[in-house]
């Protein structure tokens, strides 16, 4: 049911992502199944790996992020179609930033109460930063990213902003992560301050990490849910069509200058 709702809106979501989320078209992230040998040597029993594409030996062929690729991602039919985008264009600006509050697996915790406490702390931090951005007149989108205590917080700008300013703003936003009880500072995309880093072996720009787009999770039977901002509801997390409408109706905020 939920997947069919995402599939029905996949073309519209692809247009939305192309217009608001793509900082560059010549690089993107994507998932690929592990080979048999890779699965045998994988201590965490993962079945998929994350890649930055195109592969280095294919980067002269003009392959890019397209509406068709984005539509396949949002339709969520195959894990290998799921995409992530980079938070900086080649000119050094960013149209958004993302915050990733991780909680991967309940089995990583020896004590169930420790896991429950971690769930609570993650939730409190995510809501705190969402509300802080609201107070700054932004329209953040808070996602329940994995159905197990992980959150993605996206903030979009009405026009590209200098990446160093975006980086500084995002880090200031989460300055109180320790006071909120998190074990570590959450991942922020982009991960460095906007400086161009070059691979000494190839002379190419190091792309760094990419942020997984909203939609289907790559290992769990879960589609992103969206925080409604109405905690008094029996179920304040929106899913399917309701979650998609929040994304499509998002109002990108004022640029940083």
Within the chain, residue ranges assigned H as helices are 2-8, 10-20, 36-40, 67-75, 112-135, 163-173, 240-248
The pLDDT tens digits along the chain (257 residues) read 899 999 999 999 999 999 999 999 999 999 988 877 877 777 666 778 899 999 888 888 889 999 999 999 999 999 999 999 999 988 889 999 999 998 765 555 566 677 888 899 999 999 999 999 999 999 999 999 998 899 999 999 999 999 999 999 999 999 999 999 998 999 999 876 556 555 666 656 656 689 999 999 998 899 999 999 999 999 999 999 999 999 999 999 999 98
**Within a domain: residue 102?**
yes
Distance CA 94, CA 97 (A): 7
CATH of the domain at 84: 3.90.920
**Within a domain: residue 257?**
no
Six-digit token pair at 192?
């460095």
Domain tally, the chain: 1
**What pLDDT score was predicted for residue 33?**
84
- Which residue reads 């160093």 in tokens? 164
- Which residue reads 């992103």 in tokens? 224
- Secondary structure (3-state) at 192: coil
**Within a domain: residue 89?**
yes
User: Residues in the chain, how many?
Assistant: 257
Distance CA 160, CA 24 (A): 12
Six-digit token pair at 56?
């280095």
**Within a domain: residue 255?**
no
**What pLDDT score was predicted for residue 108?**
59
Q: Which domain holds residue 169?
A: 2-248
Cβ atoms of 80 and 50 closer than 8 Å: no
107's CB contacts (< 8 A; 6+ apart) are: none
**What pLDDT score was predicted for residue 228?**
97
**Within a domain: residue 21?**
yes
* Among 186, 170, 247, 191, residue whose Cα is nearest residue 215: 247
**Within a domain: residue 136?**
yes
**What pLDDT score was predicted for residue 52?**
92
Beta bridge partners of 99: 153, 188
Distance CA 228, CA 85 (A): 25
**What pLDDT score was predicted for residue 117?**
86
Answer positive or negative: Cα dihedral of 192, 197, 200, 202: positive
**Within a domain: residue 253?**
no
**Within a domain: residue 254?**
no
């Amino acid at each position: 049911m939920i997947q069919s709702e995402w599939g029905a809106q996949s073309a519209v979501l692809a247009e939305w992502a192309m217009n608001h989320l793509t900082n560059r078209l010549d690089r993107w992230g994507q998932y690929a199944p592990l080979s048999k040998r890779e699965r045998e040597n994988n201590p965490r029993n993962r079945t998929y790996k994350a890649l930055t594409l195109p592969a280095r030996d294919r980067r002269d062929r003009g392959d890019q992020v397209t509406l068709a690729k984005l539509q396949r991602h949002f339709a969520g039919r195959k894990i290998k179609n799921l995409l992530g985008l980079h938070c900086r264009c080649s000119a050094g600006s960013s149209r958004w930033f993302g915050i990733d509050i991780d909680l991967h697996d309940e089995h990583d915790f020896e004590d169930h109460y420790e896991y429950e406490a971690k769930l609570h702390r993650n939730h409190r931090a995510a809501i705190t930063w969402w509300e802080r951005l609201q107070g700054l007149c932004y329209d953040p989108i808070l996602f329940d990213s994995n159905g197990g205590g992980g959150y993605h917080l996206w903030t979009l700008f009405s026009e590209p902003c200098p990446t160093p300013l975006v980086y500084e703003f995002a880090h200031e936003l989460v300055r109180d992560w320790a006071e909120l009880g998190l074990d570590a500072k959450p991942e922020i995309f982009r991960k460095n301050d906007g400086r161009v880093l070059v691979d000494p072996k190839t002379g190419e720009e190091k792309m760094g990490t990419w942020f997984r787009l909203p939609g289907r999770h790559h290992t769990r039977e879960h589609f992103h849910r969206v925080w409604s901002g109405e905690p008094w509801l029996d179920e304040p997390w929106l899913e399917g069509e309701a979650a998609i409408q929040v994304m499509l109706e998002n109002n990108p905020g004022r640029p940083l200058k």
